[in-house]
Amino acid sequence: DGGITQSPKYLFRKEGQNVTLSCEQNLNHDAMYWYRQDPGQGLRLIYYSQIVNDFQKGDIAEGYSVSREKKESFPLTVTSAQKNPTAFYLCASSMMTGSGNSQPQHFGDGTRLSIL
């Protein structure tokens, strides 16, 4: 079954701790994205990557870091600098946008991060 796998489903962070959220896709998509979802605020883009070893900041990148060493994988680290990390984190992927079109994004089932 092709899809996007996020793990863990639930994650707890202690004060001062960095935590890493996993995202793996087997859709052969070039582009991958991380969003944060908070009640009443919709999805906000944290980081995205269009190609291996390259990524760009989204609207709310402060306190987060990413890597893209493999096409299939795009892990997100929530650092201790992120003072309000409690949220639902969603990973998505899409085919690369060619000239003149835009491809829909497909989502994983999310990781819910809470502070201990």
Partner 1 sequence: QKEVEQDPGPLSVPEGAIVSLNCTYSNSAFQYFMWYRQYSRKGPELLMYTYSSGNKEDGRFTAQVDKSSKYISLFIRDSQPSDSATYLCAMSGIGANNLFFGTGTRLTVIP
Of 39, 36, 38, 48, nearest to 90 (Cα)? 36
- Of the pair 75, 80, the CB lying nearest partner 1 is at 75
Closest CA to 91 of 51, 41, 31, 40: 31
Nearer to partner 1, 43 or 52 (CB): 43
Residues 20-49 that bind partner 1 (CB under 8 A): 31, 33, 40-43, 45, 48
Give the integer Cα–Cα distance in Å for 46 and 21: 13
11 makes contact with partner 1 (CB under 8 A): no
Beta-carbon count within 10 A of 85 CB: 20
Binding map of partner 1 across residues 48-87, x = CB under 8 A, - = no contact: x-x-------x-----------------------------
